[in-house]
Amino acid sequence: MKWIIAYIAMALPFGLLDALWLRWAGPNFYRPHLGELLAENFRAGPAVVFYLIYVAGVVWFAIRPGLAAGIPGGLGIAALNGALLGGLCYATYDLTNQATMKVWSTQVTVADILWGAFATATAATIATWVTQKVV
C-alpha cells in the first residue's frame, strides 16, 4: 500500500506542475523556438506512457531512499535525488535532440533541464512527505 500511495502522491503534483508549465510554455516558449518541429496536436498516448514510467522511476530512485531515511532527513534526500534524476532525464532528451536535429535551441535545452530538476524535486518531496504522513 505504501508504494501505491507514493506513486499517486508523486503523480498528482508532478502532473499538475507539468500541465501548468506545458500550458504556458507550449505557445509562449516551445512554439517560438521549435515551431516547425512540434506536432500540430498533442498526442496523449505517448505522454501517458512517459508519465507512468517516469513516476515509477521517481518513486524508486528518489522517494524510496527518502522514505528509508525517515524524518526529517528523508525530505532532503528525496529532493536531491529528484533534482538529480529530473535533470538527468530531461538532459538526456534535450541534449540528444540538440546533438541529432538540425534545429534545436540551447535555450530550450537549458530551460528543460532546469524545469525537469525543479518539477521532479518538488513533486518527489511532496510525495515523500505525504507518504510519511499517511503510512
Which grid coordinates belong to 7? 506513486
Q: What is the pLDDT of residues 97-121, one digit of tens each?
A: 999 999 899 999 999 999 999 999 9
The CA distances from residue 68 to 21, 48, 91, 94, 129, in Å, are 31, 28, 27, 32, 12
- pLDDT of 71 > 90? The answer is no
User: What mean pLDDT is reported for the chain?
Assistant: 96
- pLDDT of 72 > 90? The answer is no
Contacts of 77 (CB under 8 A, 6+ apart): 62, 65, 66, 69
d(CA 132, CA 6): 9
| Residue 104: predicted pLDDT | 94
d(CA 73, CA 123): 16
The residue ranges of every structural domain in the chain are 1-134
| Residue 109: predicted pLDDT | 98
Residues, the chain, total? 135
- pLDDT of 36 > 90? The answer is no
The alpha carbon torsion through 81, 86, 92, 98 (nearest 10 deg) reads: -140
| Residue 54: predicted pLDDT | 98
pLDDT band at 42 (very low <50, low <70, confident <90, very high): confident
- pLDDT of 78 > 90? The answer is yes
Answer whether 33's CB lies under 8 Å from 108's CB. Answer: yes
- pLDDT of 24 > 90? The answer is yes
| Residue 68: predicted pLDDT | 97
| Residue 91: predicted pLDDT | 98
